[in-house]
Structure 1
Amino acid sequence: MRIGQLPLDEQLAALRAALSRNEVLMDVLDRAARLDLPGWYVTAGAVFQTVWNTVTDRPATAGIEDYDLFYFDAADLSWEAEDQVIHRAVPVFDGVPVEIRNEARVHLWYEAKFGVVCAPHTSTEDAIDSSAATTCCVGIRLEGTRWRVYAPHGLADVFNLVIRPNPVLAPREVYEAKTRRWQQEWPDLTVLPWPTSATPGS
């Protein structure tokens, strides 16, 4: 039986085991907790790609370009406030490529970058929900020794190497560009097509 077919509690245990193989990720999680950012999660490629590497028996960090750290602070939406957090984090992560973003600010720049209007996110979880693929909608953080895992679409696709589009915000070209790169790095992936009737933001 594949991991994606196991009961959810066993999938969660398998997720923790898989992620624990990536020593860089575990160090990022530990250091991120020290920053004490509101609503923070490590999310995106560093999480699901570590699982892919485990499933395909590759080195835990193979193909991972950076580590995404989301947080949510609606009290100050200025770039200056976000930039201060980014600079404060530089010595904390000691050279590890960590991309830090205040998800409360995304609506201020998203349309200019992607050509799609983004409604203001209401939380970090809301931001994770808008990832280009449902498979990417996984966030983790450490609360002491407890793992907090946010995975609104479950974990089966992650373990089964299935990429499923999530046409709620990101445009089709973003999904297709990402999946092309991922398939080059992880050729065992099954990429499901973007639905022809889907309109981002609808």
Structure 2
Amino acid sequence: MSDAAALVACLRDSPRVMQVLANARALGLPDWRLFSGAVFQTVWNARTGRAPDYGLKDFDIGYFDPDTSWDAEDTVIRRVAAAFDADLSPLVEVRNQARVHLWFEQRFGEPYTALTSTDEALARFVCPAFAVGVRLEADDTISVAAPFGLDDLFGMVLRPNPTRGVARGWDRVVASATARWPELTIIDPETAA
């Protein structure tokens, strides 16, 4: 089984991930993906024999709309919140990737140039294992976008993103992940290049 097929199998084994994917598809958001923890943590749970929802804090959905106004994004946020049951709605976070450059530097202390698509955002994630996005397509297949491949995801390896260098907060990210998945292998940022 290929890594992409194994990823899809892990996601299909998680009822909550599949619910989020189905609801997101029904909303018809432009250029959307489910990414971040809901993807990589679901795989790590499968690899370590944990329950599918173990350690998942939220479900991040990115979409791309050239309208970068706060009002347009807020309308989508409200629409998405209304599309989920009360137990899941507070955990689903949706953001317009076309707006990230407007707030990223103030929040994270790093410059961030404007994106042209949701998939482009993946290449800027903190580490390759996190840089995986998925979408439930109209034919019920799950498409996968992974600019760095899936080796680090399935190898449970955290290494700095080679195209952006060590992100601010790297140590916090590592501490949070290893507290929940001590099986992770951490590549020292000093030797990662």
CA distance in 2, matches of 1:175, 1:122: 26
Contact kept? 1:140, 1:149, Cα under 8 Å: yes
Q: Which runs of 5+ in 1 are unaligned?
A: 1-8
CA distance in 2, matches of 1:78, 1:141: 25
Deviations 1:39-95 (A, max 9, x none): 100000010100000000000100000000000111x11111101100011121223
Q: Which runs of 5+ in 2 are unaligned?
A: none
* Inter-CA distance 10–197: structure 2 relative to 1 (3 Å threshold): closer
Corresponding position of 1:112: 106
Is 1:24–2:16 an aligned residue pair?
yes
Contact kept? 2:65, 2:96, Cα under 8 Å: yes
Corresponding position of 2:127: 133
Q: CA RMSD in A?
A: 1.7
* Inter-CA distance 44–98: structure 2 relative to 1 (3 Å threshold): same
Match runs of 1:133-152 below 5 Å: 133-144=127-138, 145-152=140-147
Is 1:46–2:38 an aligned residue pair?
yes
* Inter-CA distance 110–171: structure 2 relative to 1 (3 Å threshold): farther
Match runs of 1:1-202 below 5 Å: 10-74=2-66, 76-95=67-86, 96=88, 97-144=91-138, 145-166=140-161, 168-169=163-164, 172-195=167-190
Tell me by how many angstroms 1:172 deviates: 3.1
CA distance in 2, matches of 1:132, 1:182: 13
4+ runs of 1 displaced by more than 6 Å?
none
Corresponding position of 1:5: none
Identity %: 43
TM-score (norm 1): 0.88
* Inter-CA distance 151–197: structure 2 relative to 1 (3 Å threshold): closer
